[in-house]
Amino acid sequence: MDDVPVVVVGAGPVGLLVASDLALTGIRVTLLDKRVHGAEWTRALHLYPRALEMLSRRGLAEELIASGRPLTRGHFAALPVELDFSVLDTPFPFMLNLPQEILERSLERHARALGVTVRRRCEVVSVCQDRAGVDLTVRETVGRHRIRARYVVGCDGSHSLVRAHAGIAFTGPPVRATSLLADVILDRPPPCGTAPSNDGRGVLLLWPLPERLHRVVVIDEHTVGLPAHGTATLAEVRAALRRVCGDDFGVRAPRRLARVCGASYHAECYRAGRVLLAGDAAHALFPAGGQGLNTGLQEAVDLAGALGAHLAGGAPAELLDAYATRRRAAVARVLASTDLQRAVMTDFTVPGTVLKCLLTRLLAVPAANRALATTVAGLLLPSD
């Protein structure tokens, strides 16, 4: 049986950053992931100023910026008046359009260079803790065996096995809203960004991807109530584009088609004994422009700082409770923002239309625009 100080489960961006920051303090970390490789498709597409500030302090931001597309304008609820990031007080007054797989590759190189042990094709099948440590049963190609850790960090996504085995509830309001997502080629692509329909009955979000692809997300009153299980069809996407924009832009050659459920969930706590949570294992946010990824990266830095101070610096374990309380409160505020955006983007009733008009007028006020841009950029949350 292996015996290590910290096991991080999940080698996405959040898990990689937790492991790297712990390794910087001299703590031996093993990172487990059942996938053979990193992200197989782009999930989140944007890094915001606070995340870029943190990555810059680790020597990573510059190469990522060179691989991405800085954009000084963003959206709030896909409203026609855009957020202006250029006025923000930060070295990075923009959001970075960057496929998640590029971020993951950069973070994995960083983690390995710091001595993190990354074990892929290694699936955690059970987590059981006692007062002195945590036992994990893992399945690899050579069979099953156990790993003993002082602490386990669950960064294994919204369907987290670590969270479930720690007995932490994951709850949210019974609100569902389905959008159509397609990674496709467009023969006649419109400008990237957001494009509300002329009649207010839907919205298109459009972002460039590598290999001439575009990420298309369409929400309209005909598709918002569809069941989220199963895949979308190209015909559904084409019809939705025509309803919302009056043009299907020559959509073809789909690389990925999906119905995405815009539900929100939050873990009832971020710590249960020697098990801690971060990222999507702790929260599932409505996908309003990568807020989940950016929030998770901030959690990674905060958690690694607290756990590192406890294990390497002798700080009391109560520091971990402070992390859990602080981050859960911070994410509750982010959830309030993304839930508001979901309501605005998916409510096609008369009251929903009135709300869209009021928020659009509010965004046209420079002070209000800056306040919302600051919130979306993550600058209201503490830095490392």
> Is residue 1 very low, low, confident or very high in pLDDT (cuts 50, 70, 90)?
low
Strand order in the sheet with 170-171: 170-171, 265-267, 283-284
Task: Find the mean pLDDT for residues 100-110.
Answer: 95
For 333-371, the pLDDT digits (tens) are 999 999 999 989 988 888 988 999 999 999 999 999 999
Backbone dihedral region for residue 249 (phi beyond 0: left; psi -120 to 50: alpha; all else: beta): left
More confident residue, 85 or 190: 85
Lowest mean pLDDT among 34-38, 55-59, 94-98, 295-299: 34-38
Inform me whether the pLDDT recorded for 184 exceeds 90: yes
Structure tokens at 139: 């399945």
Write down the pLDDT at residue 40.
65
Q: What percent of the chain has pLDDT over 90?
A: 75
Cα distances from 3 to residues 9, 28, 146, in angstroms, run 15, 10, 9
In three-state secondary structure terms, 47 is: strand
In the chain, helix, strand, coil percent, each to 5? Answer: 35, 25, 35
Q: Report the mean per-residue pLDDT for the chain.
A: 92
Write down the pLDDT at residue 229.
72
Backbone dihedral region for residue 378 (phi beyond 0: left; psi -120 to 50: alpha; all else: beta): left
Residue whose tokens read 């409505």:
286
Lowest mean pLDDT among 18-22, 62-66, 136-140, 338-342: 338-342
In three-state secondary structure terms, 362 is: helix
Write down the pLDDT at residue 265.
94
Handedness of CA 347, 350, 355, 358 (dihedral sign): positive
- The DSSP secondary-structure symbol of 199 reads T
Inform me whether the pLDDT recorded for 198 exceeds 60: no
Write down the pLDDT at residue 173.
85
Question: Bridge partners of 31?
Answer: 8, 118
> Is residue 195 very low, low, confident or very high in pLDDT (cuts 50, 70, 90)?
low
Task: Find the mean pLDDT for residues 106-133.
Answer: 97
Cα distances from 125 to residues 19, 34, 102, 137, 333, in angstroms, run 20, 10, 28, 6, 33
Write down the pLDDT at residue 36.
86
Task: Find the mean pLDDT for residues 95-106.
Answer: 94
Cα distances from 299 to residues 14, 117, 278, 289, 348, in angstroms, run 8, 21, 6, 18, 34
Write down the pLDDT at residue 262.
80
For 205-245, the pLDDT digits (tens) are 999 888 899 999 999 888 888 887 778 899 999 999 999 99
Strand order in the sheet with 46-47: 46-47, 95-97, 69-71
For 160-171, the pLDDT digits (tens) are 999 999 999 999
> Is residue 194 very low, low, confident or very high in pLDDT (cuts 50, 70, 90)?
low
Task: Find the mean pLDDT for residues 9-24.
Answer: 98
Write down the pLDDT at residue 67.
95
Inform me whether the pLDDT recorded for 175 exceeds 80: no
> Is residue 39 very low, low, confident or very high in pLDDT (cuts 50, 70, 90)?
low
More confident residue, 200 or 270: 270
Write down the pLDDT at residue 199.
60
- Residue range(s) occupied by CATH 3.50.50.60 in the chain: 2-171+265-376
Q: What amino acid is encoded at 267 in this protein?
A: A
Structure tokens at 115: 């001595």
The answer to whether domain 178-261 has CATH 3.30.70.2450 is: yes
Q: What amino acid is encoded at 188 in this protein?
A: R
Task: Find the mean pLDDT for residues 194-214.
Answer: 79
- Residue range(s) occupied by CATH 3.30.70.2450 in the chain: 178-261
Look at domain 2-171+265-376 and name its CATH class: alpha beta
Residue positions counted in the chain: 384
In three-state secondary structure terms, 150 is: strand
Write down the pLDDT at residue 26.
95
Can you tell me the distance from the alpha carbon of 285 to that of 264, in angstroms, rounded to the nearest whole number? 5
Inform me whether the pLDDT recorded for 290 exceeds 90: no
CB 274 within 8 A of CB 133: yes
Task: Find the mean pLDDT for residues 299-319.
Answer: 96
